Structure formats: structure tokens, C-alpha cells
């Protein structure tokens, strides 16, 4: 039976340490999950800008096979036939030509809310009474209103007129020729609501096959991204011009709206809004408000046919056969333009055409209901990975990896857009991943700095300040293990300290030692030495570690001379203090032993506690030399290995001595101060 792996204390420590150091990533992860599920408005705007960039980089290619055409009242048409509005008998002629050419449906992105001012009856009505009477007597009842001609053309065609919905209830009530049915929640609660409308003239409306709203509402940044297919009013649902064209083109009577909690659109009791709209055989997926996000084409003008060319029949009119034809103004001076993700000025009629083409080509952009949950999951994974990168990789490689992670997320999001026409946000997950990496990296940096401060604080008491700075810059040197190198070792001890301590209180002993060790420590550190440890009344120090010290033997010898001088000065001070207090005085002397040799130096102990120290035979020789100073009555004794390196100093050979614990004689030298 296989054994389960044991969780060692070391493994547990690594896990605990990672969690403790990776809390910025965990915090970013938590915030990211909540933000992706419920993004504030400003972040939704940023998401929209990213999705806009996708469309600019990869717009929908125009497909001439799609059954949508635009008859453009363009600048060339205005030059040919004069300023807009034209007489409506001319518009009627255009509709007759399109209908006779086999157009499946004709939509007019123009609101005919007032009588035609260019109609003969309207012109006569504006004449003086006498002139008006004379004209009527001359022509009798042969003058026909342009609106009457227009209404007859509408009645003979599959045409859809436009109305503009308003928030003013005093405007005429909106009209609809379509009947609606719905399954699920009532869609009127979710579709954009309008209380009034600017509608076509009654006779025109009566002759048309349908009427739809042409409202195009940009978002807060004035860019049109979504186009509603249905609207809500006090009289019920109102179709858009585009939806009504789809209905009329198929000869359908009813529009079916599918909302949340309908069969196949389960929302688990939540009222999430509309899900799809069906008319005839066409089913359109919508967002919760009944809007569709078209994928805009790269060149809307290629679908244009100039109105002048239609009226002159200069084009092959069979090109509109079985097509849905939209008639609208595209001339720059008529101001029917809107900003889209692709352009700052697109004619309203082209936006309607883009929507219809997106529906027919199945390229309407979809923001799935599961998008927030998916994005939250992606954010969680990315934040976790970014945190691991910050903890385990070097700053450079970690930053590169985090940026690569964000770039990969954007690449995946763009791939989904191109291949599935779905919008999955990469901005929020990637941003929070970078925040998680940055926060964790800063935490790690702070920890390293704290470690360096700890090194500085700890070693400044034992190592020269310049060495502390160099050691703090490389704290990785503070680990178990070390190296073999040549050092000069010092042992120093106060003579007759036991006798002295017998006459002093414990506090007085501590004050005495502090008074002596403080200047000793300063001299050692200033000369580049490292204090290994204090041994009661004595100390142990060494030179040339942890960092190299040139002429370390000479530096140690000069420090020893300075320490003897300090001891002499302190002895004079203590003697005066004892005389002033009327107390007996024991003279103060120190013994110092120096030896240069190869030892092992490094951190020794355990992971939990270690000391930076040295081990080797050279250490024992220095300790024995310090002990011999008492019997030799010489304050400083050196081994030959140190004396040979102390050039230009007063070094005198004492002789060969057999040190305690050693069988061979050791050449011993005394060091004196030069005057």
C-alpha cells in the first residue's frame, strides 16, 4: 500500500513563508474576483475601449453577398437634385424603382412627420387668396399632393418608415404595426422606455408595411456600440427600424421576445432581461436590454448606391434584387452622423446597415452571461501565478514573465473575439495580475531591505561600517557554511580580572567591562577587524573576513598597540578615581596574542541560530600566545607568521616557546610601540 508523502516541518515552513510574503497577491486576487463580477462604471468604460481596439484592429470584412444595400442621399445627389428635403414624389419614384427591381424590403431612415412643403397643394396654400383661387380655377382637381403620391408608392411596396421616440409625452404617441409575443419575464421591464414619439404622417403610415424607431443612443463617451432592437412605451413594445425590416422582409406578422426564466433561458429566478428576439425564421441574440452589439465593417461606403444613380437608372437595378434596402442621408452637411469604435463620424443609415449585416452574417458581438464569472476565474489564476513569479523569480525575469502573462491573456481574448465574436475582457484580469506581481515584489523588496537593515544593525556591532555596507549589499552571504582563508586572529584578556572583580559589585563589573570594551571595539572596527565574541573580560577578533582587508596582519598589530595605549590611559584614570575615593587600587594591564594563519570562517550553528566565527589551529595559537603574555610580562606577543608581515614595526624575537597543548616550539615575537 503506497505511503502518503510526509509533510515535513521544512515544507510547512516554506508554505507558511510563501503565504506570509504573498499576501499582496492574495489581496489583489480577492479584489479582482469581486471587481470582475461587479465592475464599476469607469472599469466598464475601459473594457469598452479595449473591445473597440479589437474592432479597429480586426473589423468585419465587407461581404457583397450579404442582402443589405444603402441608397445614399449623398453630396453627388444633392448637387444633382438640389438641397434636402426633396419633393416626396421624387422619393416615391425612387421607392417605385427599387420595388420594381425586386427589393425585399425598403427602410427609410428619414422621419416624414410634416407635410411636404414642396407639394403643389402646400405651395398653393401659401399663396394670397386671389392667386390661390385663380390657380385652383385653372387646374381644378388635377393637382395631386406629393404626400398622396408618396403614400401610394409606400402601399405598393414592402416599406418601413421611421419614427423617433422621445421622452416628451406631449409628442404624438408612438406607432407600431407589428404584434409582439413574449416568453419568460415581461420584456417591457428591461427595454429602453420612451413616453412619446415623432411619428410619420397618418396617410404615409397607413400605406407603409411597418414603422420602426431609429433611436441610436451612444454611450457616455459618445460612441455607439449597442443598438436596441425593441423599445418600451405606455402602449407596449415598439420595434426598431432594423427589426421591423427583418419582419417585413420575411412577410412575418409577429415578433417573439424571449426573456429571462423562459424555457432554455433559465436565470435561476433572477430577472436578467431579454435573451433573444425572433421574427420569421431569424433569431437574434441580445443583451438584457434587447440591444445588439454589431461588428462594424471596415468600409461602409462600398454598400452605397447613390440616390442620383437610382433616379437616373444609371446602375443595374437588379443589384438590389432580394436585398433589404435602406434609404438615408450620408451627405456631410445633413449632420446624421455618430461615432463608432471604427470612426468618429459614421452616417446613421450605415450603422443600421452594419447591424443588419452583422445579424445576417452571424458576427454580432456577444458578451456572454458567464463572462464576469470566467473573467473572475482568470483573474484569480493570473494573480496567483503573478504572486508565485514575484516570490520565486528574480525581479527582471519576474517582471518579464508577468508582462508575458498579461500579453498572453490579451492574445487569448483577441483570439476569442476573432474566432467566436465573443468579448472576454483581458484588461481587468491582466491589470490585477500586474498589481499582484507589483505588490508582492514590493513586499519582497521591503523584506530584503529589512533583512539588509538587520544585517547592518547586527554586524555594525562586530564589523567595520564599510564592511557592513558591503555585506548588507549581499545578504545571501549570511547562510550556513563558509570558506577557508588566511586571517590574523587576536585574543585579548585583562590581567588579574578575578581579583579585581572580587572587590566590585556586579553592576560595577559590568560598567568596568563596558568602559574598557567600548574603546577596544572602536579601534578594532576602525582598523577593519571583526569582533568574533566577548569572553567576559576578554575578546576575540580577526581581520580579513568576512571581506578582504589588505595588510590585515599589520592592521591587527596597529590595533593591538592602540589597545595597549587605551589600557594605559584608563589605568591612570582608574588610579586617580581610587585615590579620590580612598580605596586600594589594582593596576590595569592587558595581554594580547596575535597569529596569522589559514582557518575556516563562516556561519556556524543551525538554521534557527548561527554565529559568524572561525575554526582552525591558528586560533589556538593566538589564544595560547595571549596566555603567555602574563608570564612573559609583555603586553603583545606575535607568532612568526604575523611578525613577518608587520614591516616597519618594532617587532623583537622572544625565542622559541612550547605552547600549551603543542609539541613543537613556536617562534614568538614581542611588539612594541615606536617613539
pLDDT in tens, 68-110: 999 999 999 999 998 999 999 999 999 999 999 999 999 999 9
Percent of the chain's residues with pLDDT above 90: 49
Q: Measure the CA–CA gap between 293 and 417, rounded to whole angstroms.
A: 13
Shortest CA distance to 66 belongs to which of 362, 322, 357, 359? 357
Strand partners, 223: 339
Cα separation of 212 and 107, whole Å?
A: 9
Query: Which residues lie closer than 8 Å to 435 by C-beta, 6 or more apart?
Result: 28
Question: Average pLDDT of 533-545?
Answer: 91
Confidence (pLDDT) at 208: 93
Q: Are strands 210-213 and 159-166 parallel, antiparallel or unpaired?
A: parallel
Report whether pLDDT(467) > 90. Answer: no
Average pLDDT over residues 609-616: 80
8 A C-beta contact, residue 255 and residue 239: yes
Query: Residue 6 CB: number of other CB atoms within 10 A?
Result: 6
Q: For residue 531, is pLDDT > 60?
A: yes
In sequence order, what are the residues at sequence separation of 6 or more whose Cβ sits closer than 8 angstroms to the Cβ of residue 356? Answer: 68, 242, 245, 246, 324, 326
Q: Which residue has the higher pLDDT, 345 or 391?
A: 345
Whether 594 has a pLDDT exceeding 70, the answer reads yes
Do 651 and 560 contact (CB within 8 A), yes or no? no
* Ramachandran class of 237: left when φ > 0, alpha when ψ lies in -120 to 50, beta otherwise: beta
Residue with cell 443583451: 287
Distance (Å, rounded) from C-alpha 521 to C-alpha 279? Answer: 94
State how far the Cα of 342 lies from the Cα of 373, in Å rounded to an integer: 29
Q: Which domains does the chain have, with CATH numbers?
A: 10-57+368-448 (no CATH), 68-361 (no CATH), 463-672 (3.30.70.1230)
Mean pLDDT, residues 7-24: 50
Distance of CA 589 to the CA centre of its chain: 69
Nearest Cα neighbor of 537 from 485, 592, 598 is: 592
| Residue (of 471, 432, 419, 226) closest to 341 by Cα position | 226
Asked if the model's pLDDT at residue 127 lies above 60, the reply is: no
Nearest-CA neighbor of 524 among 486, 559, 561? 559
Residues contacting residue 65 through CB under 8 Å, at least 6 positions apart? none
Cell of 376: 473572475
| 568 vs 581: CA distance, rounded Å | 20
Listed residue (521, 533, 528, 529) closest to 613, CA to CA: 533
Instruction: Say which residue, 418 or 608, is predicted with more confidence.
Output: 418
Helix axes 146-155, 88-100, angle to 10 degrees: 20
pTM of this prediction exceeds 0.85: no
Question: For 157-166, 173-182, 622-631, which range has the lowest pLDDT when averaged over its residues?
Answer: 173-182
Mean pLDDT of 17-32: 64
Q: How far apart are the first and last CA of the chain?
A: 84
Task: Examine the pLDDT at 336 and tell me if it is beyond 50.
Answer: yes
Secondary structure (3-state) at 366: strand
The number of residues making up the chain comes to: 675
Spatial CA neighbour of 556 closest among 502, 492, 509, 468: 492
Per-residue HEC secondary structure of 398-457 comes to: HHHHHHHHHHHHHHHHHHHHHHHCECCCCHHHHHHHHHHHHHHHHHHHHHHHHHHHHHHH
Whether the per-residue pLDDT at 629 is higher than 90: the answer is yes
CA distance 650 to 635: 14
Q: Give the model confidence (pLDDT) of 355-388 as tens digits.
A: 999 999 999 998 887 888 888 888 888 888 888 8
Which of 342, 307, 338 lies closest to 62 in space, CA to CA? 342
Confidence of residue 501 (pLDDT cuts 50, 70, 90): confident
Residue-wise pLDDT tens digits, 643-669: 999 988 999 999 988 888 888 899 999
Q: How far, in Å, CA of 431 to CA of 42, rounded?
A: 14
How many Cβ atoms sit within 10 Å of the Cβ of residue 474? 12
Q: Are 627 and 593 contacting, i.e. CB atoms less than 8 angstroms apart?
A: yes
Q: Is the pLDDT of residue 133 over 70?
A: no
| Residue-averaged pLDDT of the chain | 85
Q: What is the mean pLDDT of residues 455-477?
A: 58
Amino acid at each position: 500500500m503506497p505511503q502518503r508523502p510526509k509533510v515535513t516541518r521544512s515544507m510547512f515552513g516554506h508554505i507558511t513563508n510563501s503565504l506570509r510574503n504573498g499576501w499582496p497577491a492574495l489581496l489583489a486576487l480577492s479584489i479582482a474576483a469581486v471587481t470582475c463580477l461587479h465592475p464599476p462604471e469607469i472599469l466598464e468604460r475601459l473594457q469598452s475601449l479595449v473591445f473597440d481596439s479589437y474592432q479597429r484592429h480586426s473589423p468585419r470584412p465587407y461581404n457583397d453577398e450579404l442582402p443589405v444595400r444603402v441608397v445614399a442621399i449623398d453630396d453627388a445627389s444633392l448637387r444633382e437634385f438640389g438641397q434636402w428635403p426633396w419633393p416626396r414624389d421624387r422619393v416615391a419614384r425612387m421607392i417605385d424603382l427599387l420595388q420594381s427591381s425586386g427589393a425585399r424590403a425598403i427602410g427609410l431612415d428619414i422621419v416624414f412627420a410634416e407635410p411636404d412643403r414642396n407639394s403643389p397643394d402646400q405651395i398653393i396654400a401659401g399663396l394670397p387668396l386671389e392667386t390661390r383661387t385663380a390657380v385652383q380655377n385653372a387646374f381644378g382637381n388635377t393637382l395631386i399632393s406629393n404626400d398622396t403620391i408618396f403614400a401610394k408608392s409606400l402601399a405598393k411596396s414592402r416599406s418601413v418608415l421611421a419614427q423617433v421616440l422621445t421622452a416628451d409625452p406631449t409628442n404624438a404617441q408612438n406607432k407600431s404595426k407589428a404584434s409582439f409575443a413574449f416568453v419568460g419575464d415581461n420584456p417591457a421591464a428591461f427595454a429602453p422606455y420612451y413616453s412619446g414619439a415623432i411619428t410619420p404622417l397618418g396617410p404615409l403610415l397607413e400605406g407603409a408595411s411597418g414603422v420602426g424607431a431609429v433611436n441610436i443612443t451612444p454611450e457616455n463617451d459618445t460612441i455607439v456600440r449597442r443598438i436596441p432592437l425593441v423599445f418600451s412605451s405606455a402602449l407596449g413594445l415598439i420595434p426598431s427600424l432594423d427589426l421591423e425590416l427583418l419582419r417585413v422582409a420575411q412577410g412575418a406578422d409577429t415578433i417573439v421576445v424571449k426573456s429571462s426564466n423562459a424555457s432554455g433561458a433559465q436565470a435561476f429566478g433572477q430577472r436578467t432581461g431579454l435573451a433573444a428576439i425572433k421574427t420569421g425564421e431569424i433569431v437574434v441574440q441580445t443583451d438584457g436590454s434587447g440591444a445588439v452589439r454589431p461588428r462594424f465593417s471596415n468600409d461602409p461606403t462600398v454598400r452605397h448606391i447613390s440616390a442620383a444613380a437610382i433616379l437616373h437608372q444609371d446602375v443595374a437595378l437588379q443589384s438590389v434584387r432580394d436585398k433589404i434596402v435602406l434609404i438615408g442621408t450620408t451627405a456631410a452637411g445633413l449632420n446624421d452622423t455618430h461615432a463608432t469604435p471604427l470612426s468618429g463620424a459614421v452616417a446613421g443609415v450605415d450603422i443600421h446597415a452594419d447591424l443588419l449585416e452583422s445579424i445576417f452574417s452571424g458576427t454580432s458581438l456577444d458578451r456572454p452571461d458567464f463572462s464576469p464569472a470566467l473573467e473572475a476565474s482568470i483573474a484569480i489564476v493570473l494573480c496567483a501565478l503573478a504572486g508565485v513569479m514575484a516570490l520565486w523569480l528574480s525581479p527582471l525575469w519576474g517582471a518579464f514573465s508577468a508582462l508575458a502573462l498579461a500579453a498572453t491573456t490579451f492574445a487569448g481574448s483577441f483570439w476569442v473575439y476573432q474566432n467566436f465574436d465573443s468579448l472576454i475582457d483581458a484588461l481587468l484580469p491582466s491589470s490585477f495580475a500586474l498589481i499582484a506581481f507589483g505588490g508582492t515584489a514590493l513586499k519582497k523588496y521591503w523584506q530584503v531591505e529589512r533583512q539588509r537593515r538587520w544585517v547592518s544593525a547586527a554586524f555594525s556591532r562586530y564589523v567595520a561600517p564599510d564592511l557592513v555596507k558591503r555585506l548588507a549589499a549581499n545578504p545571501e552571504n549570511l547562510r550556513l557554511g563558509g570558506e577557508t582563508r588566511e586571517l590574523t586572529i587576536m585574543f585579548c584578556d585583562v590581567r588579574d580580572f578575578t581579583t579585581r572583580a572580587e572587590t566590585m559589585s556586579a553592576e560595577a563589573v559590568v560598567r568596568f567591562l563596558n568602559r574598557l570594551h567600548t574603546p577596544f571595539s572602536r579601534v578594532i572596527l576602525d582598523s577593519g577587524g571583526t569582533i568574533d565574541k566577548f569572553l567576559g573580560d576578554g575578546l576575540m577578533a580577526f581581520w580579513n573576513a568576512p571581506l578582504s582587508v589588505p595588510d590585515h596582519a599589520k592592521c591587527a598589530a596597529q590595533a593591538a598597540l592602540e589597545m595597549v595605549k587605551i589600557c594605559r590611559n584608563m589605568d591612570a584614570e582608574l588610579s586617580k578615581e581610587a585615590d579620590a575615593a580612598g580605596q586600594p587600587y589594582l593596576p590595569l594591564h592587558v595581554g594580547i596574542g596575535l597569529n596569522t594563519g589559514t582557518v575556516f570562517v563562516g556561519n556556524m550553528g543551525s538554521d534557527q541560530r548561527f554565529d559568524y566565527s572561525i575554526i582552525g589551529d591558528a586560533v589556538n595559537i593566538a589564544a595560547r600566545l595571549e596566555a603567555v603574555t602574563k608570564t612573559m610580562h609583555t603586553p603583545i606577543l606575535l607568532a612568526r607568521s604575523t611578525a613577518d608581515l608587520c614591516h616597519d614595526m618594532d617587532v623583537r624575537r622572544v625565542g622559541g616557546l612550547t605552547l600549551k597543548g603543542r609539541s613543537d616550539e613556536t617562534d614568538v615575537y614581542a611588539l612594541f610601540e615606536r617613539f
